[in-house]
Amino acid sequence: MRLLRLLPLVVLAGAALAEGPGGLTVPAFADGSVSEAEGLEAWARIEAVLTHPRCVNCHVESGAPPMWSGPEFETAVPHGMNIQGGESRIGAELLPCQSCHVTSTLPNEVPHAAPHAGMDWRLAPPEFVWFDVPGPAICTQLRDPERNGGRDGPALIEHITHDAEEQGFITWGLDPGAGREPAPGDLQAHLDDTAAWVAAGMPCPE
């Protein structure tokens, strides 16, 4: 009897403990516990996210403008109004992104308004270029410390939980609101896949 009454409490405490940064649960895969084949399956789902318009539109090369693309747009076009990220990546040289993309964790409710997130809107650094880059090349780029901002596997996982805490761009891309097609899956699934891919030794398709 006593044990039965205690049980729900124990279960609740367990759930609260498991819930980590940004409301996400970081799965614990021991190194080598995920096979290469399973790692490649996880990568295929990660690739579908990373190559989605909600992500690539900011991950453009040096000198390129941010892009408007996706089912909401007929074709991929450079950002209207001659917007350039510049070397600052925040548009400081011409017109700052923040003039239109405010920093806010409120939901994006107005279609075709400038979207916002909990981080200051900006282009990704040029070494993280993904626009028009094939998925397998993004894969090798992501595991190369020379081209990924010095992040190892655990740092890539932490990048996602940090984004969830700040309601940053990954969180936005998977749940952009305002009539935009989201990148596939949700943040927890993307975190689970990334952790599995890292535990498998970050395998990339040939």
Cα(199)–Cα(190) distance, integer angstroms: 14
CA distance 161 to 23: 9
Residue 187 binds ligand HEC (CB under 6 A): no
Number of residues that bind ligand HEC (CB under 6 A): 42
CB of 75 to ligand HEC, least distance (A): 13
Task: State how far the Cα of 147 lies from the Cα of 138, in Å rounded to an integer.
Answer: 10
Q: Which stretch binds ligand HEC (CB under 6 A): 4-12, 25-33, 34-42, 92-100?
A: 92-100
Binding track, positions 11-50, relative to ligand HEC; x by CB under 6 A: --------------------------------------xx
Would you give the DSSP letter of residue 117?
A: B
Are the CB atoms for 136 and 204 separated by under 8 Å?
Answer: yes
- To ligand HEC, the closest distance from the beta carbon of 18 in angstroms equals 24
b/e burial code for range 85-104 (CB count within 10 A of at least 16 → b): bbeebbbeeeebbbeebeee
Positions that interact with ligand HEC (CB under 6 A):
49-50, 53-55, 57-59, 66, 68, 70, 79, 81, 83, 85, 91, 95, 97, 99-101, 112-115, 121-125, 128, 142, 148-149, 151, 159, 169-170, 173-174, 180, 183
